[in-house]
Chain A
Amino acid sequence: MLYREAGQFKSSYGADQAVFPIAQDRWFIAAAAVFAFVVVPLIADDYWLQAILIPLLVYALAALGLNVLTGYAGQLSLGTGGFMAVGAYMSYKITTAFPELNIIVVFLFSGLFSAAVGIVFGLPSLRIKGFYLAVATLAAQFFLIWLFNKVGWFYNYNPSGTIDAPPRAMLGVLITGAEAQPEVKYLTALSLLSVFALLTKNLVRSSVGRAWMAIRDMDIAAEIIGIRPLRTKLLAFAISSFICGVAGAELFALHFGSVETLAFDINLSFLILFMVIIGGLGSILGSILGAAFMVLMPIALTNLFVGGLGMQAVTAKHTEFMVFGGLIIFFLIVEPHGLARLWQIAKEKLRLWPFPY
């Protein structure tokens, strides 16, 4: 495939402002969409769908949410797991209280609750930055998990302390519950991710997104241009938590089916943060690449170490941790824009091919 920007002249700013201004990009995206929406459900088996692809899509959505806050608005958060828990528990409360309500609508309402919680815990961001803000969001993480553990109302006083996704159908097709087909769950997660990725892409290339990045890059100058820091940051917290809330609801209802708070503990916050760092801070594509990497890499490594090199499973697991640690350090120090940037460099090389100068 020849990947060329040369020769494609834009006759209007409208054409230049399109999501994918380069024709080959549009083809690539179209091909990827056909593959993800049509080919994958046909060829992937239940194991791949349930154990790998559905969580991949859900994590990608959460990473997208965190990237809005951390990558674009520059506000470091360790509360992702907590905000996702709000989405999960509220979706459970809503769908058990209103069984007739469309499950997608339930997801979106759960997102609204999560957004409200995000705004509250975003308030300190006016006064504190960086490391201190991260600690404040960490407090949100622990508080929310404690709350959902402690207050029986959130899990309908279920003696086991778990919440279980009831069967819910849309247009006669089961989407959640044990009976729902993995293909349906997969397509639901994929559709939500696609829609949110597009909406977020639009936001970050509009004035809201520019205000976020301005606050991130130079808050003093941003303020002097007329950007209101608190309002801008809180909007980032709200939208980020909304997306994370929907992802939390999906993680509960589409992936696990039955969860307790443990599923949303601090490890989840870190996992999503690593996805954003490895994928690329401030990149929509990076959020998805990061999630894919973090989900697929351990499987590939296990296959290589255990299957290929005959290593013991435990040793393989340890090696895996070391590889991850190394990669995170690599991306933090050498390439803070992550996989998305590497992808872009590859494209730039291709773009000039075959004349490198």
Chain B
Amino acid sequence: MSQPQKKIGDTLLKVEDISLSFGGVKAISGVSFEIKEQEILAIIGPNGAGKSSMLNVINGFYHPQEGTITYKGEARHQMRPHNAAKQGIARTFQNIALFKGMSTLDNIMTGRLLKMRRNFLWQALYWGPALKEELAHRERVEQIIDFLEIQAIRKTQVGRLPYGLQKRVELGRALAAEPDLLLLDEPMAGMNVEEKEDMCRFVLDVNDEFGTTIALIEHDMGVVMDISDRVVVLDYGRKIADGSPDEVRGNKNVIDAYLGVSHD
């Protein structure tokens, strides 16, 4: 499905020699790769390879001990979550991290928080500029709700939704920020075939229609081969391959890693 003539642009994000450890545990060791504008990059690798940690480094939730992160041309040693959000990085989580007590609508509205300007005094009045702003954002959120086909659960408290729908709402919340870089941590894990197909379609459409750059972690090789432009493979915190889906599929290191050949 990936279209070779897609307009993949310059480097949006570059991580260089990132190392991250927790106490004695090395989660990432000297990993470098790039994400180019408009690209769909898949990060794959066995459990515990450091994939989620890598996303956490990119949006500033983990701070690597070594390395540089260059985002939109600006190099820094580490990101801060708030700055990452402000500069257009949004994400979903491996274990859904929705606001369980809030409705679908409110969860997605929260995703637009950084775009809302009125202070609390205006909001307490719910009038004039504050109301206008609220309605304008509501309209954008309704477009996302239509896009993800979740109109029926608009007012439902998300804690009561089935897993697959929660994943969809979480994607909606990330999309609400209108990100330049979207990080998806196992967006299709635990889904049935039909739900996976829907999610693939959403990911491709987001990439296509809004030109959003996407980095996603995924275990289903069929999905990875279908939707990604490029694949980075991690194993034991190291990068063992980086290339087009076809290149990676034939790579010996990758085959070994997945077959569990012992490391020395």
Q: Name A residues whose Cβ lies closer than 8 Å to a Cβ of B.
A: 13-14, 17, 19, 199-200, 202-203, 205-211, 213-214, 216-218, 220-228, 235, 239, 282
B173–A213 contact, CB under 8 A?
no
B106–A223 contact, CB under 8 A?
no
- Looking across the interface, which residue of chain A has its beta carbon closest to that of B119? A208
B82 interfacial contact with A, CB 8 Å = yes
B100–A225 contact, CB under 8 A?
no
Q: How far is the CB of B85 from chain A (nearest CB, A)?
A: 3
B126–A202 contact, CB under 8 A?
yes
B125 interfacial contact with A, CB 8 Å = yes
- Looking across the interface, which residue of chain B has its beta carbon closest to that of A207? B116
Q: Mark B111-126, 1 if CB is under 8 A from A, else 0.
A: 1111010101001111
B93 to chain A: which residues have CB within 8 Å? 221
B139 interfacial contact with A, CB 8 Å = yes
Main secondary structure on B side of the interface with A: helix
User: Measured between alpha carbons, how far is A228 from B59 in the docked complex, in Å?
Assistant: 15
Contact count band on B:
35 or more
Q: How far is the CB of B176 from chain A (nearest CB, A)?
A: 9
Q: Name B residues whose Cβ lies closer than 8 Å to a Cβ of A.
A: 59, 61, 81-82, 84-86, 90-91, 93, 97-102, 106, 109-114, 116, 118, 120, 123-126, 130-131, 134-135, 138-139, 142, 173, 177
B125–A213 contact, CB under 8 A?
no
A226–B98 contact, CB under 8 A?
no
Known: A13-B135, A224-B85, A225-B85. A210 touches B101 (CB 8 A): no
A218–B97 contact, CB under 8 A?
yes
B177 to chain A: which residues have CB within 8 Å? 225-226
User: Measured between alpha carbons, how far is A167 from B135 in the docked complex, in Å?
Assistant: 46
- Looking across the interface, which residue of chain B has its beta carbon closest to that of A209? B123
16 A-B pairs whose Cβ atoms sit less than 8 Å apart in the complex: A14-B131, A14-B135, A17-B131, A17-B138, A207-B110, A207-B134, A209-B123, A210-B113, A214-B99, A218-B97, A222-B99, A224-B81, A225-B113, A226-B85, A235-B120, A239-B120
Q: A214-B113, A216-B99 are in contact. List 9 more A-B contacts (CB 8 A).
A: A17-B138, A202-B123, A206-B123, A210-B109, A214-B99, A214-B110, A224-B59, A224-B91, A239-B120
Question: B82 touches which one: A208, A209, A228, A282 (CB < 8 A)?
Answer: A228
